[in-house]
Structure 1
């Protein structure tokens, strides 16, 4: 670790920025920052760590003697603090570049990428190392149940980080994961996503190809051997590459050997493991962790013990409560594939019960019609569904916007009732009318969804 520095964050209250600031503070660095979104829980987390946060973006927030200034991904030209930073010619970096310089360099970096499953797989691998006594550093884009926070930087040579393909900063349009110096790169799957910054799937594939180009020859690339998009990267990968999947040609072949409402048993090339999560999707995530942890030098027994005690992540198939026999589940899913796989996994957990999907189109991609047909397919996995109004519809051109009424109509035409409701109150009223004791309602949203979980629990 470098000697203590003064690091100033512009946009410190974002989940990743705040977690990084707290972890750097724990290493002895002096941290300051500003944001216009200063409220709990992040404001409390920063205060408890002894970090002073200034509300609002102002030129006078800039400490003149700081060693480096971190410009958050949400900060753009015109921001008064950023403009002052540029005019004063102060040294600035993106958060990804700062992590590379201050935290990752010289370590064995395990970077988990892909359209789906990044947060779960990153947390699971970090926990396997932790349980085995390795004290790993990590950076997770969520709230892990096994750890106190989403980021921790240690003196261990193992570092685990969620590798996002989203762009880095207003001045660096490369994907974040290109900064993370992977010794081991995991690619869970690749689909079209982030329609606000990628034109098409080819642009996303190019970014992943560049990512694999950063893995050294003594490293390892693990890809989903059942995903044609992942396999398309194989020919040009300069590092050793192994496929992990259910198909007969995979180097590490997964076999699902048993399921319970709370767990999934699987084998990798005949060697048995179990993960306390449901669905094929989570068995795939766990299999990637097994292969990566073996590469790090852990024994299968150490890996099994870590998997058995894994508790998951908040907002991933998380039970929020029960009212009159109706269970409310919170899930971060917003891409059709994630919705589909979550619903299939929950069928395992809640066998014989009616599943309702409630979806809020809030992410940059889900507000658009680019994956409209895939969303229709995904919602038909539920016994019934409700789709909310598109969040901030004015940010998407009318001809590119998701047609919520059409989605509801198409799903219903396939024999699964689907309703479009324009307000939270209308959604709650609809579900009160349609659901009965024993039903399970899964709320899919990558935002707060107007506190609908508590409204449902109260009204039902």
Structure 2
């Protein structure tokens, strides 16, 4: 098969290109800009385009199919040429399904926890020496790519609800046709695509209807919106609820209560315990026994950028987390505070996504930083311009978060200077963003803070 990737530099796209190259496909690709780490990884596999840009002559009748990335526009010249020649055009979720339609497909959906649940399942399957393929939204320790496609009988897919391609407005997770589906919870997101909560919620109802006739849905019964949705859904699939498993927190360690034993975990927080129980239920359906699951999950360190420790000493820890939506933010703040109740918590969120910066959506953050002892919001002013959104001031931010003590920064240099003077003794620092804090090097910041913390 000769495949051409339009917008090959995307996170999922370049990983799919590499996975298919490993499988023996002939791969070409194009993009108008490719950044690290995509550029180096594509280069290592001989897939980096020689020249940046879109070129009609990249598309010839020798190409069997085109895979179209979300970054491309509907008027992309290569796309138009492919349409003119009648070449089959896939979005990347469509092509993942094409490669996995004869496998058992496990699809992890939900507004939060998708990456962690998927990563937990993959970790357990690997530790149990099972053959499987996967698609996950983060680079995992011990795995070369974020996508693997082989002849394995099972594939575990992180099922994003965002659009599939510029010419396919269906959510990605509708296209995988799960045999086993998971929904971790429903909290409004992607307001640029789903302008109302009802419209957003509907996508999960449709997802349940896409699950195979003899399949199963595993869902978090603690989420009231989700539970009501599952109750009203007419699909005949098996519906398996899960909740927070029995546990205790002692001396900064969360222990799972199982079979009259206390099993110490590396991860913590109620949201991660829910994630763990979702993964456990999936693994049961895949034939993994409880003892094997417990043995494997003890060594799970967490997904990249999910409560990732970037610095610590005896009485301070600095975490980096991908949390950006209101539900993720609240869950992450609460997890750190509950795990370390005797330490003050400084929590910083960078509002970076289209949804979080949208003036009509920001009130969804109300109360999400309440458990932090010191709450800080950062918005890089240039982000408003890049996303073509109307800027607003700190009063709007404070009112939206419902926190008058909240500190607000819109300049990365001033934020970095402010943080450099913090005395972290007896405190934890939580840095949350799907962006990059205006280019602040968080690892250097963490090292300096711990080095200069007064004893």
Residues 127-177 of structure 1: CA distance to partner in whole angstroms, max 9, x if unpaired? 111111112100001111242321112222111000111111111111100
Q: 1:435 Cα deviation (Å)?
A: 3.8
1:364 aligns with one of 354, 357, 363: 354
Point out the more displaced range, 306-315 or 220-229: 306-315
8 A contact 2:363–2:401 mirrored in 1 = no
Inter-CA distance 149–27: structure 2 relative to 1 (3 Å threshold): same
Aligned to 1:456: 445
Q: Deviations over 1:297-353 (max 9, x none)?
A: 111111112211212211111122359986432111001221111112222444422
Cα deviation for residue 182 of structure 1 reads 0.6
CA contact (8 A) 2:107 2:180 kept: yes
Distance in 2 (alpha carbons) for counterparts of 1:340 and 1:327: 19
CA distance in 2, matches of 1:451, 1:329: 17
* Secondary structure of residue in 2 paired with 1:420: strand
RMSD between aligned residues: 2.5
CA distance in 2, matches of 1:438, 1:346: 13
Alpha-carbon displacement from aligned partner over 1:68-105 (angstroms, at most 9, x marks no partner): 1101012112323223323333221111111111x210
Secondary structure at 1:7 match in 2: strand
Q: Aligned residues, how many?
A: 443
1:26 Cα deviation from its structure 2 partner: 1.3
The residue aligned with 1:90 is 87
For residue 430 of structure 1, the aligned residue among 402, 413, 418 is: 418
1: CA distance, partners of 2:444 / 2:273: 33
SS of the counterpart of 1:83?
Answer: helix
What pairs with 1:298-309 in structure 2 (closer than 5 Å)? Answer: 298-309=288-299
Does 1:228 pair with 2:231? no
Aligned counterpart, 1:316: 306
Q: Deviations over 1:409-444 (max 9, x none)?
A: 676856xx4211121111112223444434322111
Alignment match, 1:405: 395
Structure 1 residues without counterparts, runs of 5 or longer: 247-253
Distance 2:84 2:320 in 1: 45
Residue 334 of structure 1 corresponds to 324
TM-score relative to the length of structure 2: 0.90
Say if 1:50 and 1:135 are closer, same or farther in 2 by CA, change over 3 A.
Answer: farther
Partner-residue secondary structure (3-state), 2:36: coil
| Structure-to-structure mapping, 1:44-443, within 5 angstroms | 44-54=40-50, 55-101=52-98, 103-234=99-230, 235-236=232-233, 237-246=235-244, 254-259=245-250, 261-267=252-258, 275-321=265-311, 327-389=317-379, 392-394=383-385, 395=387, 397-398=389-390, 404-408=394-398, 417-443=405-431
* Corresponding residue for residue 42 of structure 1: 38
Distance 1:389 1:374, change over 3 A: same
Partner of 1:18: helix, strand, or coil?
helix
Tell me if the contact between 1:323 and 1:457 (Cα under 8 Å) persists in the aligned partners: no
Cα shift at 1:59? 1.5
Q: Mark the CA change 1:163 to 1:271 in structure 2 (over 3 Å): closer, same or farther.
A: farther
What CA distance in whole angstroms lies between the structure 2 residues aligned with 1:371 and 1:255? Answer: 35
Between 1:112-121 and 1:324-333, the stretch displaced more is 324-333
How far apart, in 2, do the equivalents of 1:438 and 1:272 lie? Answer: 27
Distance 2:263 2:279 in 1: 11
Q: In the TM superposition, what is the alpha-carbon distance from 1:50 to its structure 2 partner?
A: 3.0
**Inter-CA distance 420–125: structure 2 relative to 1 (3 Å threshold):** same
Please report the TM-score for the alignment, with normalisation by the length of structure 1. Answer: 0.89
Structure 2 runs not aligned, ≥5 long? 450-455
Query: Which whole-Å CA distance do the structure 2 matches of 1:38 and 1:397 have between them?
Result: 25
Distance change >3 Å, CA 127–CA 434, structure 1 → 2: closer
Cα 1:37–1:329 change in 2 (3 A) is farther
Q: What's the counterpart of residue 250 of structure 1?
A: none
- What secondary structure sits across from 2:202 in the alignment? helix
